[in-house]
């Protein structure tokens, strides 16, 4: 007997979004579950952005720090290295040095860094604060002005500071990343609050909060799957935004990405283990529904790109 | 597919004899539909009804076990497509390929790796579950010798014997039949002979098709030949094909009641690029494979895959919990800070991760809050002054440390006074609200 393909089609569709001016990235737009091109349209592949910082990555584990030795001293050199040598499709600039517990850099410093990096690269830029809700409001406002009309992503807006950041995005013609705390309802609520300000829902990317392999990945995975199912099956326009996975910072926090083989004999060689930790985290979240991923290690990115090649 | 109460009623004797303990046949049928009673209670049911109802009540994905004893691997019986709906039932098995063209030393080395692969993570024992022996040589004698050598060295490890040659299958299955191997490789040209070997030795049969149509034909035929325990290979090899076929098979079995594909699935992940192989295997873990075959099992790769499998197969309704205890992070001296948090695994991982990142050695007391986070635990009466005081007193930590200061999460600052009341002589310090505030907090104390 022939096999009857149990195809499923949906009423809903994920919004397609783009970033950049010269070299654009485009993602989202699918009307089926991730990589289910056998039963619907998956017009774009997920995009991986390389993560850089406004200050040297002193707190990154050795395995990843050494990859950027000699270029990570200043963000412009670092960004150009990712674009020119690693063929980055996008750059994610994290303004971590603005955090009060770090270098406590000022909004002016942040704006200057954003301008310099934008002037040096032609690929799209994702501008991220330090996740300090009070400080981010001021920092991202200044960063938004520095990136006016450059079609960047700016984030992350959270429940406590979304008004300032969303307004800054609208005033400067940018796109917004909205992060909520690992809960499908909170994610929906934040999207609603932001769009109620008059923000175009199709200029929004959802970050349901990422977690690393073995450290809460099960939660992020299921929240993403549920958001995506709501977008497709219920045609819920407040949940049809593409999703971001902030993979690098979470994967490289895991003990498994840091401990040497002597400290963790069951884990084998540290370098491969750490790369695998980042690549497997990214893979899981792509399968769950994320279309834009922020990553650190070139070997992990390479493996993920090959995996996407095979899946598309 | 499951039958409704009315459909079942039509198959019953309709005598309302009450021998089953129910007032009417319809009432009994309703209970049967809800799977609350067994058909055996009806003494007058016809053989035909038994057959129909038996098939309808069988699980949509058949349970198949390979191996015997403690290391046996149970597969199938899945009930959902998404883990948030209900816990996935039987964890997928990881298998490593051994080719009969490899030298004895090479084979020994892989078997040693399998035997030494067991680790423990969050209370679970995890290991490479099976060895996939392939008849790459095409020679029956070489295959049998390889199987013999592996079975002698690792008699308890479940085996998957891969050959398309029925004579080689017969010779090697005979050697290890007691350990219930999976015989893989029934295809359209050898199906009768392979089914006969599986039937004779009472082992399960792996079906190697070229596509889903071919797969359906093969499983139907094999069932007619009297072999019920099967494992499916639709021929999918690329990530795209694996995503499609494994989804179709799981959906077909669960949502369409397609019995021809109601069996566990074997997924082949072997690649020259070992990092890519790790990601293909990851796809198998998430997307419905019951056995994942790999070409190598380095420790780093196994650890990542074991961890992913644990994340995917964990119960989404019951949070993973950490055992109540006082954990040492780094090598704390007797004057190192003592902190307390809840036993929700995510809380523990984030808090311990931030502390380890700060490089400040501390003792971290983890209170059993039944898996609730600090704030939820406080609201639910699981993270209270009385419980904290009792835990600290009974832990005997006072003898181990040279101070009496306990740092509590900022979210429960309100508890500090009442803990001090219940823990005479102790000083309660309010720490940061969020774990990411811990490094700065701890560093500021040591300066």
Give the residue ranges of DSSP H helices in A235-269.
247-251
Position A136 scores a pLDDT of 97
Q: Work out the minimum CA distance from B322 to partner chain A, whole angstroms.
A: 13
Structurally, at CATH architecture level, domain A16-311 sits in: Alpha-Beta Barrel (3.20)
Q: Work out the minimum CA distance from B261 to partner chain A, whole angstroms.
A: 9
Position A255 scores a pLDDT of 87
- Partner-chain residue, chosen from B213, B260, B307, that has the shortest CB–CB distance to A213: B307
Average pLDDT over residues B256-275: 96
Judged by average pLDDT, the poorest of A64-78, B154-168, B358-372 is: B358-372
What residues contact residue B33 under an 8 Å CB cut-off, 6+ apart? B2, B3, B4, B5, B8
Share of chain B above pLDDT 70, in %: 98
Position B208 scores a pLDDT of 97
Report yes or no: B131 and B96 within 8 Å, Cβ to Cβ: yes
Please report the beta strands in chain A, taking only residues with DSSP state E, as ranges in sequence order: 16-19, 25-28, 47-53, 91-94, 125-128, 153-157, 175-179, 204-207, 243-245, 290-295
pLDDT confidence bin for B2, thresholds 50/70/90: low
What residues contact residue B437 under an 8 Å CB cut-off, 6+ apart? A101, B410, B431
Contact residues, chain A, for B82 at CB < 8 Å: 222, 225-226, 229
Residue B1 has pLDDT above 90, yes or no: no
pLDDT confidence bin for B384, thresholds 50/70/90: very high
Cα angle at A258 between A255 and A262, to 5 degrees? 95
Query: For residue A209, which phi and psi values (nearest 5 degrees)?
Result: 85, 120
Residue B292 has pLDDT above 80, yes or no: yes
Cα–Cα distance, B270 to B281 (Å, whole number): 8
Report yes or no: A17 and A26 within 8 Å, Cβ to Cβ: yes
Say if the Cβ atoms of A303 and B279 lie within 8 Å: yes
DSSP A15-76: PEEEE-SSS-EEEE--SSSTT-TTSS---S--EEEEEEESS--TTS-HHHHGGGTTTTTSHH
Query: For residue B75, which phi and psi values (nearest 5 degrees)?
Result: -130, 170
3 state DSSP class of A91 = strand
Burial B394-415 (b: 16+ CB within 10 A, else e): eeebeeebeeeebbbbebbeeb
Report yes or no: B267 and B293 within 8 Å, Cβ to Cβ: yes
Query: For residue B132, which phi and psi values (nearest 5 degrees)?
Result: -100, 110
pLDDT confidence bin for B447, thresholds 50/70/90: low
Cα–Cα distance, A143 to B394 (Å, whole number): 53
**Domain boundaries for CATH 1.10.15.40 within chain B:** 5-57
pLDDT tens digits along B422-437: 999 999 999 999 888 8
What's the alpha-carbon Rg for chain B, to the nearest Å?
28
Q: Which of B405, B409, B378 is nearest to B392 (CA)?
A: B405
Cα–Cα distance, A104 to A184 (Å, whole number): 33
**Domain boundaries for CATH 3.40.50.11600 within chain B:** 325-446
Contact residues, chain B, for A46 at CB < 8 Å: none
Residue A146 has pLDDT above 70, yes or no: yes
pLDDT tens digits along B135-163: 999 999 999 999 999 999 999 999 999 99
Position B354 scores a pLDDT of 87
Average pLDDT over residues B312-326: 86
- Partner-chain residue, chosen from A1, A214, A276, that has the shortest CB–CB distance to B300: A276
| pTM over 0.80, yes/no | yes
3 state DSSP class of B81 = coil
Say if the Cβ atoms of A256 and B304 lie within 8 Å: yes
Contact residues, chain A, for B121 at CB < 8 Å: 214
How many angstroms separate the Cα of A27 from the Cα of each of A19, A30, A293, B121? 9, 9, 11, 37
Say if the Cβ atoms of B307 and A256 lie within 8 Å: yes
Position B188 scores a pLDDT of 95
Position B316 scores a pLDDT of 84
For testing the chain B interface, which of A232, A261, A308, A311 should be mutated: the one with the most B CBs within 10 Å? Answer: A311
Position B358 scores a pLDDT of 86
- Find, in chain B, the residue whose alpha carbon is nearest to that of A227: B84
Cα angle at B355 between A274 and A295, to 5 degrees? 30
Query: For residue B193, which phi and psi values (nearest 5 degrees)?
Result: -65, -40
Judged by average pLDDT, the poorest of A22-31, A236-245, B116-125 is: B116-125
Contact residues, chain B, for A37 at CB < 8 Å: 240
Position B114 scores a pLDDT of 96
Residue A234 has pLDDT above 80, yes or no: yes
Is 0.95 exceeded by the ipTM?
yes
- Partner-chain residue, chosen from A6, A219, A280, that has the shortest CB–CB distance to B308: A280
Contact residues, chain A, for B346 at CB < 8 Å: 211, 215-216, 219
Contact residues, chain A, for B445 at CB < 8 Å: none
Chain centroid offset of residue B175 CA: 29
CATH 3.30.565.10 fits B325-446, yes or no: no
Chain centroid offset of residue B289 CA: 11
Helix H, strand E, coil C: the string for B235-280 is CCCCHHHHHHHHHHHHHHHHHCCCHHHCCCEEEECCCCCHHHHHHH
Average pLDDT over residues B192-212: 97
Structurally, at CATH architecture level, domain B5-57 sits in: Orthogonal Bundle (1.10)
Say if the Cβ atoms of A4 and B256 lie within 8 Å: yes
Position B334 scores a pLDDT of 93
Antiparallel, parallel or unpaired: β A91-94 and B159-162 = unpaired
Contact residues, chain B, for A1 at CB < 8 Å: 216-217, 220, 260
Q: Work out the minimum CA distance from B251 to partner chain A, whole angstroms.
A: 7
Sheet holding B362-367, edge to edge: B325-329, B362-367, B338-342, B405-408, B427-430
Report yes or no: A295 and A278 within 8 Å, Cβ to Cβ: yes
pLDDT tens digits along B406-421: 999 999 999 999 999 9
Position B38 scores a pLDDT of 79
Residue A63 has pLDDT above 90, yes or no: yes
Of residues B3 and B351, which shows the higher confidence score?
B351
Cα–Cα distance, B195 to B185 (Å, whole number): 10
Cα–Cα distance, A301 to A275 (Å, whole number): 9
- Partner-chain residue, chosen from B119, B213, B439, that has the shortest CB–CB distance to A3: B213
Position A263 scores a pLDDT of 85
Position B41 scores a pLDDT of 86
Cα–Cα distance, B159 to B147 (Å, whole number): 9
Contact residues, chain A, for B312 at CB < 8 Å: 218, 221, 284
pLDDT confidence bin for A122, thresholds 50/70/90: very high
Average pLDDT over residues A245-268: 93
Position A1 scores a pLDDT of 67
- Find, in chain B, the residue whose alpha carbon is nearest to that of A3: B213
- Partner-chain residue, chosen from A3, A213, A299, that has the shortest CB–CB distance to B275: A299
Instruction: For domain B64-313, give the fold.
Output: TIM Barrel (3.20.20)
Between chain A and chain B, the number of residue pairs with CB atoms below 8 A apart is: 170
Report yes or no: B180 and B65 within 8 Å, Cβ to Cβ: yes
Say if the Cβ atoms of A277 and B304 lie within 8 Å: yes
Q: Work out the minimum CA distance from A168 to partner chain B, whole angstroms.
A: 26
Mean per-residue pLDDT of chain A: 96
pLDDT tens digits along B231-259: 999 999 999 999 999 999 999 999 999 99
Average pLDDT over residues B299-320: 91
Q: Which of B304, B58, B43, B47 is nearest to A264 (CA)?
A: B304
Domain chopping of chain A, boundaries? 16-311
pLDDT tens digits along A87-116: 999 999 999 999 998 999 999 999 999 999
pLDDT tens digits along A161-204: 999 999 999 999 999 999 998 899 999 999 999 999 999 999 99
Residue B204 has pLDDT above 60, yes or no: yes
Question: Quick one: CA torsion of B76, B79, B85, B91, rounded to 10 degrees?
Answer: -10
Antiparallel, parallel or unpaired: β B64-66 and B73-75 = antiparallel
- Find, in chain B, the residue whose alpha carbon is nearest to that of A224: B84
Give the residue ranges of DSSP H helices in B34-182.
47-57, 104-115, 140-153, 166-176
Position A270 scores a pLDDT of 97
């Amino acid at each position: 007997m022939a096999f009857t393909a149990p195809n499923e089609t949906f009423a809903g569709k994920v919004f397609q979004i783009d970033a950049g001016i010269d070299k654009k990235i485009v993602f989202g737009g699918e009307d089926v579950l991730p990589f289910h091109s056998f039963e619907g349209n998956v017009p774009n592949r997920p995009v991986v952005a390389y993560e850089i910082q406004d200050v040297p990555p002193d707190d990154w584990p050795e395995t990843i720090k050494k990859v950027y030795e000699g270029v990570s001293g200043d963000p412009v050199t670092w960004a150009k290295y990712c674009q020119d040598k690693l063929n980055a499709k996008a750059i994610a600039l994290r303004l971590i040095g603005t955090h009060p517990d770090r270098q406590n850099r000022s909004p002016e410093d942040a704006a200057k860094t954003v301008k310099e990096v934008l002037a040096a690269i032609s690929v799209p830029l994702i501008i991220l604060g330090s996740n300090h809700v009070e400080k981010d409001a001021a920092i991202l406002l200044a960063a938004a002005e520095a990136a006016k009309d450059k079609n960047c992503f700016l984030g992350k807006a959270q429940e406590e500071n979304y008004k300032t950041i969303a307004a800054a995005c609208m005033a400067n013609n940018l796109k917004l990343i909205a992060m909520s705390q690992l809960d499908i309802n909170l994610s929906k609520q934040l999207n609603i609050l932001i769009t109620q300000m008059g923000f175009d829902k199709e200029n929004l990317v959802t970050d349901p909060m990422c977690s690393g392999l073995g450290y809460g990945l099960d939660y992020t995975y299921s929240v993403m799957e549920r958001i995506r199912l709501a977008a497709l099956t219920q045609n819920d326009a407040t949940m049809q935004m593409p999703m971001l996975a902030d993979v690098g910072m979470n994967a490289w926090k895991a003990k498994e990405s840091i401990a040497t083989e002597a400290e963790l004999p069951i884990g084998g060689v540290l370098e491969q283990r750490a790369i695998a930790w980042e690549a497997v985290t990214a893979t899981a979240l792509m399968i769950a529904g994320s279309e834009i991923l922020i990553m650190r290690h070139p070997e992990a990115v390479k493996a993920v790109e090959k995996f996407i090649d095979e899946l598309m | 597919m499951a039958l409704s109460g009315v459909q079942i009623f039509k198959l019953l004797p309709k005598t309302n004899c009450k021998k089953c303990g129910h007032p009417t046949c319809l009432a009994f049928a309703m209970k049967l539909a809800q799977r609350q009673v067994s058909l055996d209670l009806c003494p007058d049911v016809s053989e035909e009804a038994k057959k129909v109802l038996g098939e309808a009540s069988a699980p949509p994905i058949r349970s198949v076990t390979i191996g015997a004893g403690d290391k046996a691997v149970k597969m199938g019986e899945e009930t959902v497509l998404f883990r948030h709906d209900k816990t996935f039932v039987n964890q997928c098995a990881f298998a490593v390929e051994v080719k009969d063209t490899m030298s004895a030393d090479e084979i020994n080395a892989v078997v040693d790796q399998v035997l030494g692969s067991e680790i423990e993570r969050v209370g679970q024992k995890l290991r490479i579950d099976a060895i996939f022996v392939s008849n790459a040589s095409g020679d029956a004698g070489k295959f049998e010798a390889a199987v013999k050598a592996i079975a002698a060295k690792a008699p308890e490890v479940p085996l998957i014997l891969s050959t398309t040659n029925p004579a080689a299958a017969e010779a090697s299955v005979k050697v290890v039949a007691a350990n219930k191997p999976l015989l893989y490789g029934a295809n359209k040209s050898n199906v009768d002979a392979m089914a006969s070997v599986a039937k004779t030795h009472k082992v399960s049969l792996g079906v190697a098709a070229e596509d889903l149509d071919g797969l359906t034909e093969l499983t139907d035929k094999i069932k007619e030949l009297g072999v019920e325990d099967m494992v499916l290979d639709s021929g999918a090899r690329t990530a795209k094909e694996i995503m499609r076929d494994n989804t179709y098979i799981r959906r077909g079995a669960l949502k369409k009641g397609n019995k021809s594909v109601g069996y566990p699935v074997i997924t082949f992940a072997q690649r020259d690029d070992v990092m890519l192989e790790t990601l293909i295997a990851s796809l198998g873990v998430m997307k419905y494979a019951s056995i994942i075959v790999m070409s190598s099992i380095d420790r780093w790769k196994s650890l990542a895959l074991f961890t992913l499998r644990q994340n995917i197969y964990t119960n989404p309704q019951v949070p993973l919990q950490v055992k109540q205890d006082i954990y040492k992070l780094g090598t704390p001296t007797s004057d190192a800070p003592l902190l307390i948090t809840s036993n929700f695994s995510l809380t523990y991982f984030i808090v311990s991760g931030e502390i380890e990142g700060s490089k400040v050695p501390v003792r971290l007391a983890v209170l059993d809050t039944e898996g609730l986070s600090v704030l939820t635990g406080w609201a639910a009466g699981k993270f209270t002054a009385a419980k904290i005081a009792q835990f600290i007193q009974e832990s005997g930590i006072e003898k181990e440390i040279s101070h009496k200061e306990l740092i509590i999460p900022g979210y429960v600052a309100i508890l500090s006074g009442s803990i001090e009341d219940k823990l005479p002589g102790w000083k309660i310090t309010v720490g940061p609200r969020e774990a990411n505030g811990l490094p700065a907090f701890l560093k500021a104390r040591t300066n």
